[in-house]
Each structure stands twice: as structure tokens, then as C-alpha cells.
Amino acid sequence: MADNKLNDKATAAAKPREKRYKLSDGGGLYVEVYPSGVKSWRLKYRFGGKEKRLVFGLYPIVSLKQAREWAIDARKMISRGIDPGQVKKDAQNAIKEAAAVAPSTETVEIISREWFEKFGGQWVDSHGSKVIRRLERDLFPYIGRDEIKAVTPAALLSVLRRVEARGAVETAHRLLQNCGQIWRYAVATGRAESDITQSLRGALPPSKETHLGAITEPAEVGKLLRNIDEYKGSEVVRLALKLAPLVFVRPGELRQACWSEFDLAARLWTIPAGRMKAKRPHVVPLSNQAVAVLDELQAVSGGGVLLFPSPRSVTRCLSDVALLVALRRMGYTKEEMTAHGFRALASTNLEQLGYDVRLIELQLAHADQDQVRAAYKRETHLLRLVERKKMMQHWADYLDGLRAGAKVVPFGKKQA
């Protein structure tokens, strides 16, 4: 497949001419510019020995990024012997047939959107967007207008098979999980008799289990820390990697950190609820070593809002691939180490050091788990914070020992 040639700036700047013309993005994807100024995304492909065209929609309603994603989906279908043009026609016909039926207030789409409105707020925006997009793309076009109580397990399975056919087995499993939540909500609100997804257990092939790469063996952790210290790329990236193992928050929470969230006098970083997966504020105690990294960072980005601004714009944070690229340049594959791997690195070794798993989970912001909530609901937040401060300083000291190449012996059982 040819390399992508277009960008948003070039697509937006394309002017109409006397005759319509094409701007190619490669791999058969192009935008056709009409004399009226209308810009339409199309994919040229061959199926059954014939050249065909698939229309994705108008720019900018359909973005360049969206068009590329749909083009990838279409190519996957073609590789599996499925004509994406026919799939689109089938979906349009299904919508037309459903439109001929008297409207109902208890359709799959209406109840799904109601469910999402009630419960979607518990997720971070990026996850919520993925859920609703998955429903809009893979569920609503096929059975969205059907009354939820009339949908059979076989009908839902046919929808899931379409997703599976394009090679997105993991997405099919996630869609089935979302449907289970929606059907159980419909049962609870009296609009469905049963959760039909229970009948589909085992109907999909298992998705390949993937593990985020993480280095946890102490000697290798020490080597990783030394490699980070010697990293010759962006100073912002190097300092982000230095801070990551000391705070072990999620990569997005680290990259989007703002200076206003830090109280260096109290040695605390409070991440607001809007940026947390569980939609609750999260407090991260800062060790002496973490404060030292922040002091270094002050000279680099202290004059702005973000700790880790993008090299392209100080109003945007580092991209989600910046840390991954740095790790690759150090020689680590995605199977060996990822930006998310600093969390596994910390949790594994802290447990080996003797810390109570519940305290580790609390610091990882996994406190929404039932056993953690039950274990801590009778104790004050202040007591937990004091213990977490001690743990985070001990952890930073332990990492210093690993960085120095010392043979670090666990300190023994810690009470939590």
C-alpha cells in the first residue's frame, strides 16, 4: 500500500476547479473535489475482478483520519473475500426497511443511547468516545431500529460476525460486552425480558491475549533507568521517562500533567477527576527524587501550563507515541517495555518488597475494586496518605539502588 500523501491542511486548502479532480492519499483512497467545492471521500478497489468505488462521505464531516480508518476496514473485508460495497448496500437496505416500520421508543439504538447517557459519564472521554463510536458503526446500522425485545440471539450474532469478518475479533468481543450491559439495562427498566447475550457465550473465536510489555526483573530495571538517564533525544521526553517510574500513573495522566496540579511544598500531585479512569481525583505523593526531576523540568517547561508540551505546540501535550518511540530508540521492543509498563514494574516490585497489595492498588488508582473499597472504607484518607508517602519514598530509594547497579535486598515485610 502506498504511503499516505494527504494531510488535513492540504485537504482543507483544496480549491474547486472548472472540472472535478482527485487528491490521492494512497492505497486507493482519495478525495474528489467538485466544481461546487464539495469534497467527497472515495476508495477505489478491485473485487471479483472488477474495479469498484466506495463512497465514505463528505469532508470535513468525515475527517481524513476517519476516512483512513474506514479504508483500512474495507481492505480487511476485501482480504477476507467480503465486498465492502455490498456490506454498505446491505446496511442501507436494512435502514430503509426499518424506516418503513412504525417508529418505536424501545429500539436498540434509543435504549443504547439512554444507557450511554446514564453510565458513560463514569469513563474518561477517550474511552466513552470509543464505546459510542463502536455502537454507531457496528450495531445501530443493522439492528438499531429494531425493538430490543424482538431481537434474537441469532440476529445479534450476525451483527457480531460482520465485525469478526473484517478481522476485528477483539472489537467483536467488546461489542458483545457492551450489548450485554445494554440488554441488562433494558431488562432492569422493563423493556426486555432477558439478556440475550448470555446465549452467545463461546460463539465468537477467542481474541488473542495481548500483554503490555513491562520490565520487572530488578537488574533489568536498573539498566532501563541508566538508559533513560543517558537518553540523547528530547529533554522533555527524557524527563517524562525519568518521572514515570517514580509516580507510575497511566501514560495519559502523565503526559497531560499541568503545573497547577502540583503542590511542591506539600510534595503532592493531585490529578483531577476529569483525567482519571475512575472519574475521581487521585493524589500522588512525591518523593525527593520526583521533586528533583520536577526541578529539572521547571527550567524546561516551567513557564507554561503543561509539564510535557509537544515540540510542535506548547498548548498541546506530548503525543501518545513520544515515550514509546524513545523506548524503541533505546532498543526496547513493544513486547519488552511500553509506557504503561512502568505501572507493572512498580506493582510487581513493590509487592516483592513486602507492601500490602491493597496499598499498591490504592496508589495505582485501582481503588474502585470491591476488595480495596471494603478494606479501606473504615480508614481515613490521611492515614492512607501518610503510608503512601512512606512507600513512595522507599520505592524511589530502591530505584536509586537499582540504577547504581547495587544488589538490592528487599527491606522486609511492610505493614499497610
Please state the domain extents for the chain: 8-82, 101-200, 218-403
How far is Cα 105 from Cα 323, in angstroms, rounded to an integer?
A: 47
The CA distance from 250 to 124, in Å, is: 12
What is the H or E stretch that residue 287 is in? none
Catalytic-role residue among 76, 376, 389, 414: 376
**pLDDT value for 167:** 81
Options 2.60.120.10, 3.40.718.10, 3.20.10.10, 3.30.160.390; CATH for 8-82 is: 3.30.160.390
Specify the CATH superfamily of domain 101-200: Tyrosine recombinase, N-terminal domain (1.10.150.130)
173 labelled catalytic? no
d(CA 323, CA 241): 7
What pLDDT sits at residue 378? 40
381: annotated active-site residue: no
Q: From the candidates 145, 340, 384, 388, which is the catalytic residue?
A: 340
pTM of the model: 0.52
d(C-alpha 2, C-alpha 29), whole Å: 10
**Which residue ranges in the chain fall short of pLDDT 70?**
1-4, 95-104, 122-126, 208-212, 367-383, 406-416
- Compute the 3-state secondary structure of the chain and give helix, strand, coil in percent, each to the nearest 5: 55, 10, 35
Fold of 218-403: hpI Integrase; Chain A (1.10.443)
The catalytically annotated residue of 134, 366, 389, 414 is 366
**The pLDDT value given to residue 21:** 94
27 three-class SS: coil
pLDDT of residue 210: 54
Active site residue 390: no
pLDDT at 379: 44
pLDDT, position 127: 73
pLDDT value at residue 374: 42
The CA R_g of the chain, rounded to the nearest whole Å, is 26
- Residue 103 pLDDT: 57
Q: In this predicted structure, what is the pLDDT of residue 358? A: 81
Phi then psi dihedrals of residue 48, to 5 deg:
60, 30
Catalytic residue among 42, 113, 255, 343: 343
Instruction: Tell me whether residue 376 is one of the annotated catalytic residues.
Output: yes
Which of 42, 162, 238, 250 does the annotation list as catalytic? 250
| Cell 467480503 belongs to residue | 82
d(C-alpha 337, C-alpha 214), whole Å? 4
